[in-house]
Amino acid sequence: MRSVIEARGLTKCFAGLTAVSDVSLSCERGVIHAVIGPNGAGKSTLINLLSGDLKPTSGKILIDGLDVTGSGSSQMSLLGVGRSYQRSNIYPSLTVAENCNIAVQSRFEISMRFLGAVSAYPEVEVGTKRVLERVGLESVVHKKVSQLSHGEQRQVEIALALATNPKVLLLDEPLAGMGAEESLRIVELLRSIRSEFAVILVEHDMDAVFALADTLTVMLNGQVIEAGVPQDIRSSARVQAAYLGEDFSD
């Protein structure tokens, strides 16, 4: 199958530091591709490159085979790339519904209308309701996000990514800071929706990674040290070394 998103030789240099170096990967619809690696490996930077939050120093990004390198984050979003952030990046002083409304509305060409009331466009509310049901936030729809628990805020983060109806889902440590129950729920959610998206998942929770991932890329110091299917990664000596002897073989 043709890959929905593809990175070719992506490199990002910050002053004096190459955070991502010559990374290539691709992901198809229905596939969850996990990117793992120790702290500072460059995973978030890679996600930021793919989402247009950062511009690559060199390398290419392709969506549906089309070269979209250099597009900003708003363009990327419109091209069908949705993302969540490692550190919650949501609207704390707005309610859960208002958060999602903004995301859902971006897919309708109504955002420049400044005279009609929002109530004249019920399609936004409908979309919001659907997303909130999916991630399981129905009970707190009208609560301010700043009043939610940390885990719930993480769910809002994922809801925003889903609400833009993306083809590609970039998830940067979606489970970080969640309780066991909430984690399970999100893993379940990802499992149930995997067929609709090409998912690139950055995650430290190895149980979740091996439960979900179809393919993996392992990064260390900005470079890909191993890539392949889960069994190969588990048995890779290089990966074990990178994780300083952490036990991977169950």
Ligand X SMILES: Nc1ncnc2c1ncn2[C@@H]1O[C@H](COP(=O)(O)OP(=O)(O)OP(=O)(O)O)[C@@H](O)[C@H]1O
Binding interface with Mg ion (CB under 5 A): 44, 86
Three-class SS state of 219? strand
Nearer residue to ligand X within complex by CB, 47 or 97: 47
x/- map, 107-126, other proteins, by CB under 8 A: xx-xxxxxxxxx--x--x--
Question: By CB under 6 A, is residue 43 in contact with ligand X?
Answer: yes
Contact 84, 171 (CB under 8 A): yes
Closest by alpha carbon to 219, among 16, 33, 29, 6? 33
CA distances 241 to 15, 213, 214, Å, are 28, 21, 22
Stretch of 32-40, 105-113, 135-143, 226-234 contacting other proteins, by CB under 8 A:
105-113
The CA distances from residue 197 to 60, 111, 120, 194, in Å, are: 21, 26, 30, 6
The DSSP code sequence of 170-212 is: EEESTTTT--HHHHHHHHHHHHHHGGG-EEEEE-S-HHHHHHH
Residue 44 lies near ligand X (rule: CB under 6 A): yes
> Is residue 180 classed exposed, middle or buried when 0-12, 13-18 and 19+ CB atoms within 10 A define those classes?
exposed
Among 9, 72, 139, 241, binds other proteins (CB under 8 A): 72
Q: Which does 103 bind (CB under 5 to 8 A by kind): Mg ion, other proteins, ligand X, none?
A: other proteins
101 touches other proteins (CB under 8 A) = yes
* Site track 212-231 with other proteins (rule: CB under 8 A), x = hit: --------------------
* Site membership for other proteins, residue 77 (CB under 8 A): yes
In the list 42, 52, 80, 166, the residue contacting ligand X (rule: CB under 6 A) is 42
Q: Which of 18, 106, 221, 240 binds other proteins (CB under 8 A)?
A: 106
The minimum distance between CB 153 and Mg ion, in angstroms, equals 17
For helices 180-193 and 150-163, the axis angle rounded to 10 degrees is: 10
Tell me the site size for other proteins, rule CB under 8 A.
Answer: 36
Pairing state between β 215-220 and 32-36? parallel
Segment contacting ligand X by CB under 6 A, of 43-51, 115-123, 156-164, 236-244: 43-51
**Per rule CB under 8 A, is residue 73 in the interface with other proteins?**
yes
- Within residues 71-90, the interface with ligand X by CB under 6 A covers 86
Residues 162 and 137 sit within 8 Å (Cβ to Cβ): no
- Length in residues, the chain: 250
For 225-235, give one letter per residue: b (16+ CB within 10 A) or e: bbbeebeebbe
Using CB under 6 A as the binding rule, whether residue 177 contacts ligand X is answered as no
Binding site for ligand X (CB under 6 A): 14, 17, 19, 37, 39-45, 86
